[in-house]
Structure 1
Amino acid sequence: MAKDLERDLGLFAVIAISMGAMIGSGIFILPGVAMAEAGPAVILAFVIAAILVIPAALSIAELGTAMPEAGGDYVFIERGLGPSFGTIAGLGTWLMLMLKGSLALYGGMFYINFIYALPTWDLAIPGLGATLPIPGVRALGITFALVFIAINLVGVKQTGGIQLVMVIVMLVILGGFVAVTIIQVDGANYDPFFAEGIDGVFTATALVLVSYAGVTKVAAVAEEIENPGRNLPLGLLGSLAVTAFLYALLVFVLVGVVDGDQLADSEEPMALATEILFGEAVLAGVPVGTLAVAGIILAAVLALVSTANAGILTASRYPLALSRDDLFLKKFEYIHPRFNTPSVAILVTGAIIVAIVATLEVDEIAKMAGAFQILVYILVCAALIAFRERDLEWYDPDFFTPGYPWVQLFGIVSGIFIITQMETQEILGSIAIVIFGFVWFKLYAEGKIDREGVAKGLARREAGKQFVQDTEAVLERADEFEILIPIRQDVSREQEDAMIQMAAPIVKRRGGHIRVVRFDEVPDQVPLDTAAQELSEADIEFEERTDDLVRYLEVPVEVGEIVSHDTRHAVVNFAERTGADLVLARQEATSRLGTLFGRDTDWILEHAPCDVVFVQHEQPTAVDEIAIVTDRSPFNDPLKVELADAMADVLDARVRFLFAVSEDAPDELLETIEDYHAELDELCTVPVESTIVRTDDDVEGLSAALESADIVMLSTVTHHRLPDLIIEQRSDRLAAAIEQPVLLVHSKQTRRGSFLRPILDRVLFD
């Protein structure tokens, strides 16, 4: 059975990834270096660079919707222009991303050095008030590099949520900086505007191109984007437009408030400008100037270390992809058996980054990165032309580049022109990577492969085949009931069997089928298609034991496997895509502290398109009584009754309703509860008993009354972190107090309660 991949990156995740990769060295490091090349006209360099990226961004958006495969631009070029150009593109992108990561590491350390040397922070502590020598800054960058290499080796998960929060924080800080400083811009700083001539502008353009490398990063994970026809072009163009506008504003302010020579000599231009404007400011005894500088430095360090860490993660995927396609050494395809990460690719990538940080200067790193980036963008535009000009039956993207082919031709011509404006070192570097890639392909890879790109006339249908497919086509089953049982990696065989056996009576009664899907979560360091290609012993064992269990169940069971970077998102997406009526999943009892940090089960409750039931404890050997703790919920109680009645009918069991009231509850309340249970009884086809438990401690009283039950059903709602940390939900307390299997039931029609929900539950039921 083949594993399928799950798209779990939405529009905001695409924007966050793209902007997170772009808002970094572009504004925190390069304005000063670019100022030295172009003078006040440096603002034009950032704008022109953004314009030059547009053809490649549009081409990547179209190709990404036609071939949503991991690897992005490398895959597009390899499929369109052939393996030889694919080798050049893969090596060029790998080098570019390593250079970008190195730039962030090295440049970010100057900001730490800046705050270390602030005279306003000199508190008579030895060392403060003096800058580190350049070797010390390099050593600091190398130290951070080693930390990030270790993080990526063990596969610490990167989350779109954290990335999005960091992008928002940076935008708020930078937006506040512009709002406060733009009124202090001195127009005299822009005279003369073209101090270094138009040649200087073009040289600076080549230097700052690396600021927009986020486009390439998003292309590398195109396979993992949901609804790529909409989210990929919107995410790419939206993030590019916002970032370019922000860069233009920030550079306009920097040039207008900092002396030109001082800015050109600065490795930390944002901190310098803030310190010049606000360094001595004090308000009501508070050193707001120092706080402002600290805020900018915090934003810079967050952006740059995030870029560096992401650079190692993304860059390491390229030698892995090249190796997988037989274009590079096979050892780069090695996946560590314990951490499930491409350890060889990460170690080599990290070693090269360390070497770059140790030897090259900031401007050299930026210029080399820009050269390799524009080379790849030229090839991307050429690849799109190759696909469009061939009559390919399978090439059917969800998004078509407007202005074809003139947009792509502009991208190719402008890219070649910018390369010619670079210094000799960068031109020779671009030529060297082309020659090395071609020679490497001829000597190492040509004899191992028998494929060509579409430009040479061999249009391979496999190139356009979407790797991400459903486990099977969604059948039209309007009258059938489907239960989805997601199996996580930490679920034992006994727990898996128990859930299937609980689902079987419900499906047998309702008519339908069970869909058992194993969800494998892999680190972000591993492309999804790489993880899906290999079947582990656990995968094979899962298939065999599921087949054995299905043989004696009298209901249809379908089995599948999904690989994703985010299991909870994958479960919800799969349930929505297949039209599941009920998700039946395992939930371990969690601590209240675990609730504070957010639980995957709560996320599933909030986003699932269907009813959800979580199972705690083990399945009993025999079922004679199913107990339902009612709570007068207009949606959860009927769902509990429906499920319990179906199970009891097939298992020849009885159902019992329980409701807890205080010892001094009035007779009117008892009559109301009895009438309510009678109404629920009418929904059942099996014998039903009703029990009203008088107790001043409903958890203790219900626990005692539930001793005869074999299965207990409770309602559950989304937890609210801090409020639930203070006042624990009754269902959690009751589930923890009993030993029987517990089904925590949540109807999709139940509205999400506010943070007052646990407080009201405590008042009403305790």
Structure 2
Amino acid sequence: MKELERDLGLPSVLAISIGAMIGSGIFILPALALEIAGPAVILAYALAGLLVVPAALSKSEMATAMPEAGGTYIYIERGMGPLLGTIAGVGTWFSLSFKGALALVGGVPYLLLLFDLPLKPVALGLAGVLILINVVGAKQTGRLQVAIVVVMLAALGWFAAGSAPSVQSANYVNFFADGLGGLLAATGLVFVSYAGVTKVASIAEEVEDPGRNIPLGILGSLAFTTVLYVAIVAVLVGVTDPGSVAGSLTPVAVAAESTLGQTGVVIVILAAILALISTANAGILSSSRYPFAMSRDNLVPPSFSTVSERFGTPVNSITLTGAVLLVLIAFVPILDIAKLASAFQILVFGLINLAVVAFREGSAEYEPEFTSPLYPWVQVFGAITGVLLLTQMGTVALVGAVVITIGSIGWYLFYVRPRVSREGAATDAVRRRVGRNVLTETRSTVDDTHREVLVALTKNLDENRERSLVALAADLVRPDDGRVVVVRFEEVPDQAPLTENMTVQSPSDISYETRIESLSTELDIDIEADEIVSHDTKHAIVNFAGNRGVDTIVAEHEPLRLRSRLFGDPIDWVVRHAPCDVLLVDNLGYERPAHVALSGDGGPYPPLSVNVAEAIAAANDGDISLWYPAERKDTAQYKRTIDDYQSELSEMLSVPVRAKSIRADGGRPSNSDVVVRRGTDERMRNILFDDRPVFPSPGCTTITVYPRESRRPRFAQRLLERLTF
């Protein structure tokens, strides 16, 4: 396998990064930003440079951890997963396309100062030429890029030095006339001026000593360019009459004419044309590689990664990018192009900051030579300020960012998701965090006691099923020498008054109490029998549990059918209103269960379910099987995380534990004696999450566990579990 020679030193890195930034940011945007913020545009450039620092630090860190050829999309896709990778790829592609269009639409007016030509046709013609150049494979060499940077810096330096003596302090009066809103809006607009600061990361594989030169190159070029921008704009504002430059298509030429005469104008024009054509060509070159890279990752159709045998270039990707560029030039006003370019760049820089957090907190191998200081506060600051800037940039920018994001999500759901099974470091980081939180809850729940359990008998049961419920309750309270209260609830019609005659015991009642007393002796547990007559059994159960202060209710109940889920079931009311935990038993017998299965859907097992399973297994000298779906096509990251979680859970419990994959379609019959599963108390959550056992027909008693209100996971927590597990 061929490797790229690491022959780019710090000067080359600085030249590449500075050259990628200087262009539209100084030759076009100052006039547009002046209309928004007035003289405060000077501060807007400084503030924009400051707000780029978090993304610059984050990109520097990731580039030293993964010093290989690639771009922003690669880091975000690997860190945040295919979904956010799709958003970042599309967002970056649009941002670079908009930047290329901005360079051409903004650069042509400088050319028209020398030649009397129509603006848009010339811009479209230049765009067509550049697209054709990219298709046939010609590209600028490194030496040409360095030469252009030198010419630009020389011209701008001469302009600043020659114009500085002509600065009029009166031009800075009413510096903050447009207020904080105007300053932030202008900051958002000129943000794209610094978009090229992280471009050097895409050639990280060719940088010598990347751990040192990449951060120094990125941060050094950012500092230099920020100072240069602020100085040039300060001079530009100071040497022109207030408001005369605002809205001009050639602001630097206007300023040069007032201080350096026609010679200064010609030099500025040449520098501007060189810079903006170079920026436009680089924009087409780099933006067309995003569909190419995304195609190789199966995020867009494979045709975009096809390389022409004749030209050796990705013609389809370049053609699509070129078509977008031509449409932008022909139909979108320059101010909207600038806003959209900045909006998408802000969005991508925010994702860059989040990607670093994902790599740091996830389990993926990640060993950067350079680490961002003040982690994670710098990244949080960058993400939050990015959102703040977007909200201040006006409707066009905000709607553009939202439309691209929603469109990317739609594309991911309908095209990418069925084809891609990768996941990012962020998903694993969140998954591990969720798993740790559930384990912490489980530790505290495992130590909880069942001092008193109510066995609620709501229908006539045969003696074996009755005994099974009581034996289950006895196993729950046995470790704590607790008590079992067995109550037979009898419901009479509303028309029948509750009289003393109804409290007279029948032979059946006496037989029931005798059986319960004998169970107390047999099971060696304190068991109390009672009978309650009421008009409403469900209210009677909840009232008795509340007045008695029991810890758990055990009742027999068949699994909820679809009709019960949609239209309700009396036991649902008990689950929602009980002041304690509720265990609903699909009763197929309970005789010293030695093998207890804990049914799961691939995510963490609910703490109370773990508690119940351990109590049953410990009382019967048994073991626990951790069931999980066998059909899932999981990533290696997911499997490692689940293995770690199950290992920690096993160490926490006092009984033998083993993991077992179970087929959801049935497969072999279960050899478990009891299955413990999660229950949810809200019908719509049942429909949404479909919390059935992984193994739908276990052929043994199933216990569905419903925790009390204080223990129930919130909707957001369950949704997070579903998304990450």
- Aligned partner of 1:375 in structure 2 is 347
Distance 2:7 2:312 in 1: 19
* Superposition deviation, residue 391 in structure 1: 4.2
- Aligned partner of 1:48 in structure 2 is 47
Distance 2:58 2:72 in 1: 9
- Residue 446 (str. 1) matches residue 428 (str. 2): no
- Residue 356 of structure 2 aligns with an amino acid whose one-letter code is L
- Aligned partner of 1:352 in structure 2 is 324
- Residue 77 (str. 1) matches residue 76 (str. 2): yes
- After superposition, what is the alpha-carbon deviation per residue over 1:71-101, rounded to whole angstroms, capped at 9, x for unaligned? 3211111111110000000000000000001
Distance 1:372 1:361 in 2: 17
- Aligned partner of 1:202 in structure 2 is 184
* Superposition deviation, residue 234 in structure 1: 1.2
Distance 2:104 2:198 in 1: 19
- Residue 233 of structure 2 aligns with an amino acid whose one-letter code is V
- Residue 183 (str. 1) matches residue 165 (str. 2): yes
Gaps of 5+ in 2: 432-725
Task: From 379, 384, 389, give the equivalent of 2:361.
Answer: 389
- Residue 220 of structure 1 aligns with an amino acid whose one-letter code is S
- SS of the aligned residue for 1:260 comes to coil
* Superposition deviation, residue 459 in structure 1: 12
- After superposition, what is the alpha-carbon deviation per residue over 1:366-402, rounded to whole angstroms, capped at 9, x for unaligned? 100000000001111001011111244x211111111
- SS of the aligned residue for 2:244 comes to helix
- Aligned partner of 2:528 in structure 1 is none
- Residue 110 (str. 1) matches residue 115 (str. 2): no
Distance 2:368 2:42 in 1: 36
Q: Any residues of structure 2 matched to 1:131-530 within 5 Å, and which?
A: 132=117, 136-278=118-260, 289-392=261-364, 394-457=365-428
**TM-score of the aligned structures, taking structure 2 as reference length:** 0.58
Residues 363 and 429 in structure 2, CA contact (< 8 A), matched pair in contact too: no
Distance 1:383 1:306 in 2: 30
Distance 2:198 2:98 in 1: 14
- Aligned partner of 1:631 in structure 2 is none
- Residue 431 of structure 1 aligns with an amino acid whose one-letter code is V
Distance 1:405 1:369 in 2: 27
Distance 2:203 2:169 in 1: 43
Distance 1:216 1:442 in 2: 30
Residues 217 and 314 in structure 1, CA contact (< 8 A), matched pair in contact too: no
- Residue 345 of structure 2 aligns with an amino acid whose one-letter code is Q
Residues 71 and 317 in structure 1, CA contact (< 8 A), matched pair in contact too: no
Distance 2:7 2:130 in 1: 24
- Residue 350 of structure 1 aligns with an amino acid whose one-letter code is G
Residues 142 and 358 in structure 1, CA contact (< 8 A), matched pair in contact too: yes
- Aligned partner of 2:619 in structure 1 is none
- Aligned partner of 1:496 in structure 2 is none
* Superposition deviation, residue 10 in structure 1: 3.1
- SS of the aligned residue for 1:164 comes to helix
Distance 2:312 2:16 in 1: 23
Task: Give % identity.
Answer: 53
Q: CA RMSD in A?
A: 1.6
- SS of the aligned residue for 1:48 comes to helix
Residues 256 and 268 in structure 2, CA contact (< 8 A), matched pair in contact too: yes
Residues 185 and 256 in structure 1, CA contact (< 8 A), matched pair in contact too: yes
- After superposition, what is the alpha-carbon deviation per residue over 1:125-160, rounded to whole angstroms, capped at 9, x for unaligned? xxxxxx55xxx2011111111111111112114222
Structure of greater Rg = 2
- Aligned partner of 1:64 in structure 2 is 63
* Superposition deviation, residue 63 in structure 1: 0.3
- SS of the aligned residue for 2:3 comes to strand
Distance 2:276 2:283 in 1: 10
- After superposition, what is the alpha-carbon deviation per residue over 1:326-347, rounded to whole angstroms, capped at 9, x for unaligned? 0011110010112211111111
Distance 1:109 1:42, change over 3 A: same
Distance 1:7 1:150 in 2: 31
* Superposition deviation, residue 216 in structure 1: 4.0
Distance 1:144 1:254, change over 3 A: same
Residues 203 and 422 in structure 1, CA contact (< 8 A), matched pair in contact too: yes
Choose between structure 1 and 2 for higher RCO, CA contacts under 8 A separated by at least 6 residues.
1
Aligned length: 431
Distance 2:34 2:350 in 1: 26
Distance 1:323 1:110, change over 3 A: same
Residues 59 and 408 in structure 1, CA contact (< 8 A), matched pair in contact too: yes
- Residue 293 of structure 1 aligns with an amino acid whose one-letter code is V
Residues 71 and 318 in structure 1, CA contact (< 8 A), matched pair in contact too: no
* Superposition deviation, residue 458 in structure 1: 8.1
- Aligned partner of 2:87 in structure 1 is 88
Distance 1:12 1:97 in 2: 25
Residues 63 and 384 in structure 1, CA contact (< 8 A), matched pair in contact too: yes
Distance 1:228 1:350 in 2: 33
Residues 357 and 376 in structure 2, CA contact (< 8 A), matched pair in contact too: yes
Residues 9 and 225 in structure 1, CA contact (< 8 A), matched pair in contact too: yes
**TM-score of the aligned structures, taking structure 1 as reference length:** 0.55
- After superposition, what is the alpha-carbon deviation per residue over 1:40-90, rounded to whole angstroms, capped at 9, x for unaligned? 110011011111111001100110111123332111111111100000000
Q: Any residues of structure 2 matched to 1:658-737 within 5 Å, and which?
A: none
Q: Structure 1 segments of 4 or more deviating over 4 A?
A: none
* Superposition deviation, residue 28 in structure 1: 0.4
Distance 1:51 1:139 in 2: 38
* Superposition deviation, residue 31 in structure 1: 0.6
Distance 1:432 1:19 in 2: 31
